[in-house]
Amino acid sequence: MSSIKAFKESKARPDSFLENHLKDVKISIEHYLTDYDKELVRLVGLAGVCHDIGKNHIKWQDYIDNESKTKGPNHSDFGAFVFSYLGFHLLNQQNLWEEYQVQWLWLIRDIADHHSKLKNLTNDNWIISYDMR
């Protein structure tokens, strides 16, 4: 059995499809960031698309379709992983890695924590110590 469900059939919530939810989040985020530079808006929009992508997993879909289940499996970590990969390559291909690596890291943390207390990254100095390319 596959561990993913057809994307068009996947639900974000019992009454809404995942595809629509991810598009709506992207559009909403980008709407509120109109005063920011387009590269950052694009990166944050990508984070919006990725944040719940783990809900496509068959175990999460089984949870959302089963009213007797009270807690679904973690989907946030997978969304953070997908965003970290895609966001890194987006920035790297556009030669924007140096400029936006801190925001990239913040967004990874926010996606991973988006159903819990958001953690604060107060020390960005470690980024300088490692070449992540």
What is the DSSP code (8-state) at residue 3? S
Q: Does 36 map to a domain?
A: yes
Q: Is residue 9 part of a domain?
A: no
Q: How many domains does the chain have?
A: 1
**95 located within any domain:** yes
Instruction: Please report whether residue 90 resides in a domain.
Output: yes
In a domain, 7, yes or no: no
Question: What average pLDDT does the chain have?
Answer: 87
pTM for the full predicted model:
0.83
Return the higher-pLDDT residue of 121 and 64: 64
The per-residue DSSP string of 6-67 comes to: -GGG-EEETTEEHHHHHHHHHHHHHHHTTTS-HHHHHHHHHHHHHTTGGGGBHHHHHHHH-T
In a domain, 21, yes or no: yes
What pLDDT, on a 0 to 100 scale, did the predictor assign at position 120?
Answer: 57
Residue 8 lies in a domain: no
Q: Please give the backbone phi and psi of residue 12, each rounded to the nearest 5 degrees, phi first.
A: -90, -40
pLDDT at residue number 68: 85
Q: How confident is the model at residue 6 (pLDDT cuts 50, 70, 90)?
A: confident
User: Is residue 42 a part of any domain in this protein?
Assistant: yes
Range of the domain at 20: 16-129
